[in-house]
Amino acid sequence: METTNITLINGIIAFLGMALFFLIRYRNRKNKSKPFQLAYWLNDNGLELIISVITSAACFLMLDDIVFYISKITPNELPLVKVTAFLCGYANQWILKLIINPLKK
């Protein structure tokens, strides 16, 4: 029987990575004088949030395969599954920005 890395803990870690990405973006916003308003934030970032959830979920569902291939080139003592789950939430946004920003021009 095969074991899977798709667990609740790894899902929470992926969600925390996605939340960290948005918190860092909020901290680095241009207009810091306005207080946080959830309705405005959702209106301004709603589509990106939906895309983030979908891409994070897709990356998370491929977690077993990603970990398998990355494990071939990394040291054994690295907590690979947890790090990869975190990157599923955080880094996919960074990669999407690298792809989408040139397309906006």
The Cβ of residue 13 has, within 10 Å, a number of other Cβ atoms equal to 21
Residue 14 CA to its chain's centroid (Å): 6
Q: Is 3 left (phi over 0), alpha (psi -120 to 50) or beta?
A: beta
This prediction has a pTM of 0.74
Confidence of residue 16 (pLDDT cuts 50, 70, 90): very high
Which stretch of 10-14, 41-45, 52-56, 99-103 has the lowest confidence by average pLDDT? 99-103
Question: How far is the first Cα of the chain from the last one, in angstroms, to the nearest whole number?
Answer: 50
CA distance 68 to 36: 41
Report whether pLDDT(1) > 50.
Answer: no
